[in-house]
Structure 1
Amino acid sequence: MAVMTWVAELPAPPPPAADVPPAPLLGFPRLTPPPPPPPFAPSPEPP
């Protein structure tokens, strides 16, 4: 019941998360998509 109290304070973040508990893996990439690979950044390979 305590969770509902703090959840009510939050507008949207909590509802969706609780609505889709088994969707953290699918939602993760959507919320935080992996940054595209660098075009030309040969760090390990010095010029």
Structure 2
Amino acid sequence: AGPGEVLTSATVRDLRAGSGLQFDDRGVHQLKGVPGEWRLFSAS
């Protein structure tokens, strides 16, 4: 994540449906200490 940027998983994005938050796809990433690959979204 860049300065001031919040990244979330698709699960968080789906749970916030209807909240008025916008989510932009930031692609698939590997996270340190977390198995597998995760699609991440920036929240704004």
Fold similarity call, TM over 0.5: no
Bigger Cα Rg: 1
- Name the one with the larger strand percent: 2
Higher relative contact order, structure no. (Cα contacts within 8 Å, ≥ 6 residues apart): 2
- Name the one with the larger helix percent: 1
TM-score by length of 2: 0.26
